[in-house]
Amino acid sequence: MKKIWEWAYREIYQIDNDICIKKIKPYRVKTYFWCKIKFTTKIYTLLKFWALNINKIDLENYYKIKKLFPNNIPEINYLDKNGNLVQSIIKDYNWKKTITLLDFTDKIDYSIWMEFKNMVVMLLKYWIEIMDIRESNIFVQEYERWKYRLILSDFKRIWWRTYPFQFYLAFKVNRDKKTLRRLDRLEKILIQKWKLKI
Ligand SMILES: Nc1ncnc2c1ncn2[C@@H]1O[C@H](COP(=O)(O)OP(=O)(O)O)[C@@H](O)[C@H]1O
Ligand SMILES: [Mg+2]
């Protein structure tokens, strides 16, 4: 098993050519003033996200989005008996592993970004408020030669439960604003990166 990613809550392993699993880390260590506190991740996410297993939230949202945009999320998603999220590895037409916007430096057409933006706006309409729009969560897939589309992954932060101390997010209008602000911020980064003129 090859570890492909590690962040605060999850470790991601590639288990074979086509599948990866997202494992919740056992502990979360936080420093408050001079005190280091070690939480079991389950307890921590229960307090912070109202969820014992954030993979479950992630999965529920995949199902919702799949109905609307089946081509813009990973194909396979399910929980194994240990609560890990099992997911297909996103691949390009030539079976190469698709990379995220974080590593993608080639230029692509602006219309692909517009398509993606419209998709996010549509999701907001259906109350699927993706609050975690960032480069590491968006893949640039070359699904046919010279043809690209953006694929979203990572829906653990959705709705305001994942930001319980930002009370203003209890209102949909504010959540939508936050998501759109993030989209705009990312667009600026991409314009720079891709040297796009609009
Ligand atoms: N289905 C996938 N196929 C290929 N790489 C993936 C996949 N899912 C995640 N990754 C890689 O792992 C990273 C983190 O995955 P993500 O689901 O965003 O977890 P996290 O909860 O740590 O943010 C991504 O930025 C990407 O590089
Ligand atoms: Mg992520």
Q: Count Cα atoms within 13 angstroms, Cβ side, for 22.
A: 24
* Residues in the chain where the model's pLDDT stays below 70: 195-198
Residue 192: its pLDDT value, please?
84
Ligand 1 pocket test target in 4, 7, 12, 91 with most atoms within 8 Å of CB: 12
Test site for ligand 1: of 135, 152, 154, most ligand atoms within 8 A of the Cβ: 154
Question: What's the CA-to-centroid distance between 198 and ligand 1, angstroms?
Answer: 30
**Residues 88 and 19 sit within 8 Å (Cβ to Cβ):** yes
CA distance 151 to 120: 11
- Chain-centroid distance, C-alpha 177: 18
pLDDT at 47: 86
pTM more than 0.85: yes
Spatial neighbors of 135 by CB under 8 A, at least 6 apart, are: 100, 101, 102, 186, 189
Give the per-residue pLDDT at 49: 82
| All residues at 6 or more sequence positions from 114 whose CB lies less than 8 Å from its CB, including other chains | none
- CA 182 to CA 47: how far, in whole Å? 25
Q: Give the contacts of 129 (CB within 8 A, at least 6 positions apart).
A: 123, 158, 159, 172, 175, 176, 179
Q: What's the confidence (pLDDT) of residue 113?
A: 93
27 phi, psi to nearest 5 deg: -130, 155
43/134 Cα distance (integer angstroms): 26
Ligand 1: atom nearest CA of 136 is: 25
User: Where in the chain are the domains?
Assistant: 2-194
Tell me what pLDDT residue 50 has.
Answer: 85
Q: What is the pLDDT of residues 60-109, one digit of tens each?
A: 999 999 999 999 999 999 999 999 999 999 999 999 999 999 998 888 88
Asked if residue 144 lies in contact with residue 93, where contact means CB atoms within 8 angstroms, the answer is yes
Q: Tell how far the Cα of 136 is from the centroid of ligand 2, in angstroms.
A: 6
Q: In ligand 1, which atom is closest to the CA atom of 10?
A: 22
pLDDT computed for residue 107 by the predictor: 83
